[in-house]
Homo-oligomer: A and B are copies of this chain.
Amino acid sequence: MTERSVGYVETKHHHLKELFRLVNGDELAGVSIAYETYGKLNSDKSNVILICHALTGDAHAAGWHEGDKKPGWWDIVIGPGKAFDTNKYFVICSNVLGGCKGTTGPASTNPQSGLPYGLSFPRITIEDMVNLQYKLLKNLGISSLYAIAGGSMGGMQVLQWTVSYPDFMKKAIVLASTAISSPQQIAFNEVARQAIIRDPYWNDGDYYGGELPKQGLSLARMIGHITYLSDDSMHDKFGRDTRENEMFQVESYLHHQGDTFTSRFDPNSYLYLTGAIDKFDLSNGYSLAKSFSNIESEFMIISVSSDWLYPSYQSEEIVQALGSNDINVQYRKLISHFGHDAFLLEKGQLNYLLSTFLGHLTVGDVMSEDVSTLREGCTLEEAAQLMILNNATHIPILAASGRITGIVTSWDITRAVANKISSIEKILSRDILTSHPDESLSNAALIMEDNAISALPVVDDRGCLVGILSSDTISAMVGRGAK
């Protein structure tokens, strides 16, 4: 375990008391949701980040389970000091509906029959997955997200979230994904499904308790793995090397990946989840730009230069549709030869891009609105007393209109005492710098640094004080204050 790990973690389970209604009208009873959380929820619950996993992922995104040989699937970017900094953020990841890692899916027991659902499990969509995540958050008392992020199928969930619950999150991050599954993606999913379905042990999905369709599931995974790597990375990783048994390295690798997968994934889940991916089309066969018209969050879209399964043009389509709605969107391409898998591997680039985007805060996002102020004409003593009372080093002085006219600091008080000045008017700093709630945090931080000031009053368009930005807050946010 590295120093920057969230450490040992456990998967929690949330049991939905109410029926869960799917988009198609079907209802599921007794739904369970597996989830993990990292970091601490702050007092106003404003630091929550939801992570959405890909096809074969799970709730275990970071840290270690007892006995694990490797950490959660996105440990490279989740943890203290990493992009999803658990010193700042409260990170949640849940297993998707239809999955097989603790959330209700086709392998779960149907409470009505007492038997595993199998193919009687209703068809689900990406929207259903998102709606269940929404239920989970609500039941955990969370009613907004600072950010939401996911790659591949996780990216689809992020996009769906911003369309379904447009005012729920500030920032959305979509990696190596698409808003519309392409025929090639459908084709690869279909051959994988056929590999499972054609395994005689699949038995129309009714294999629980008996022999599993392992051969088919393993073959499906082998097919998938080819699409997750680039031609170039395969040259690098395997070349034409062979093993003792005359198999090519690449063949051994695929066999190994296929075999180990069968012990950790349910074949029916593979069918249901790939089905949900195939049906995903946020344009509704019409216009992506139109579907995005209500989105409120700002976006970072990330593609991978060598990803041929989710090629960059699909990310660029999203960027264009967001842009046409004047949505704030940043587009970055990971320069990587890892192919689709790069979103799980490119540690350096990802941490840089994600933390820059997450850190791209406005002053309004982090300013303190709870400011102690005094009116013009107050005394030196009143100012000093307020400072002591509220543990505040800076007291803005306001005119009757609410406009800021000056600021008094503990240093000013000290100076007055030293010089035997009794009037606050004589020590007040009147030539003060201010900020605006919409100003970028990094810009405000720069001004404070350049002018060696430790607090910046924030005023609205009319010049009225609406908050204060302190260097302590900034240090905590950008991680500079972390010990």
Contacts and interface: CB of A to CB of B under 8 A. Distances in A.
Interface of A: 180-184, 186-188, 190-191, 194-195, 198-200, 215-216, 219, 222-223, 226, 229, 231, 234-235, 237-240, 248-251, 254, 278, 281, 285, 308, 311
A281 B240 CA distance: 9
A191 B311 CA distance: 23
Contact of A219 (B182, B186, B191, B200): B191
Contact of A250 (B183, B249, B254): B183
Nearest to A240: B281
Contacts of A199: 198
A216 B222 CA distance: 15
A238 to B, nearest CB: 4
Contacts of A281: 240
A187 B219 contact: no
B198 A222 contact: no
B240 A191 contact: no
B240 A181 contact: yes
Contact of A188 (B215, B226, B278, B311): B226
16 contacts: A181-B240, A182-B234, A183-B250, A184-B231, A187-B234, A187-B251, A188-B226, A190-B222, A190-B248, A191-B219, A194-B219, A195-B195, A198-B215, A231-B308, A240-B281, A240-B285
A198 B182 contact: no
Nearest to A180: B240
A184 B254 CA distance: 11
B191 A238 contact: no
Contacts of A238: 183
Nearest to A190: B251
A454 to B, nearest CB: 55
A151 B268 CA distance: 40
Contacts of A188: 226
Given A200-B200, A215-B198, A250-B190, A183 B240 contact: yes
B184 A226 contact: yes
Nearest to A252: B190
B239 A183 contact: yes
A251 B222 CA distance: 19
A347 to B, nearest CB: 24
Nearest to A223: B191
A91 to B, nearest CB: 34
B198 A219 contact: yes
A190 B254 contact: yes
Contacts of A234: 182-184, 187
Contacts of A187: 226, 234, 250-251, 254
B222 A191 contact: yes
Contacts of A226: 184, 187-188, 191
Nearest to A339: B184
Contacts of A239: 183
A235 to B, nearest CB: 6
